Amino acid sequence: MKAVIRASLAVAVVWLVYFLRGNVCLRLYPAVMGAIAFAVFALSSLKTPIVEKIARRRGEMLDERGVRYCRVVNNCWTVFLFLHLAVTVLTVFASPETWAFYNGFLAYVLLGTMFAAEWAVRRRMRGKCGK
């Protein structure tokens, strides 16, 4: 199954390079990276969320509440990354200035804000739990 997915991705990339030519392919790079990030978070929701895996690798001892929190955070990131992907794809067909503003500046501000917000919520949750 993995081989089929990899082959499909390779065919899609070749198709894009051939038919879109020019700098459109280069402008798709953030969208491809966004699609990969979205896929990682979305697919991990089917089993153990990636956020939970990261927490456990950092040595966190997660009780049932912690596991639920990780699932919620994973879902928040999945929605955020889907919206980010949608905007990134739209900017491919916008002006070069719009593409550069979003992908070179605003996307990083939004990602940083999301990280900071989750960190603040996590700190507050830990304070309420007495940890």
57 lies in some domain = yes
Return d(Cα 74, Cα 9) in angstroms, integer.
25
Return d(Cα 114, Cα 120) in angstroms, integer.
10
When computed from its CA atoms, the radius of gyration of the chain, rounded to whole angstroms, is 18
Place of tokens 């739990």: 129
16 lies in some domain = no
5 lies in some domain = no
14 lies in some domain = no
Return d(Cα 126, Cα 57) in angstroms, integer.
18
Q: According to the 3-state scheme, what is the secondary structure of 105-124?
A: HHHHHHHHHHHHHHHHHHHH
> Residue 77: exposed, middle, or buried by beta-carbon count in 10 A (0-12, 13-18, 19+)?
buried
Q: What is the dihedral of CA 56, 48, 34, 19, to 10 degrees?
A: 140
pTM over 0.85: no
3 lies in some domain = no
Q: Any idea what DSSP says for residue 21?
A: -
Domain hosting 123: range is 22-129
4 lies in some domain = no
Work out how many domains the chain is built from and give that number: 1
Mean pLDDT of 41-62: 91
Most trustworthy range by pLDDT among 6-20, 34-48, 117-131: 34-48
For residue range 58-97, list pLDDT tens digits in order: 988 888 988 999 999 999 999 999 999 999 999 998 999 9
9 lies in some domain = no
13 lies in some domain = no
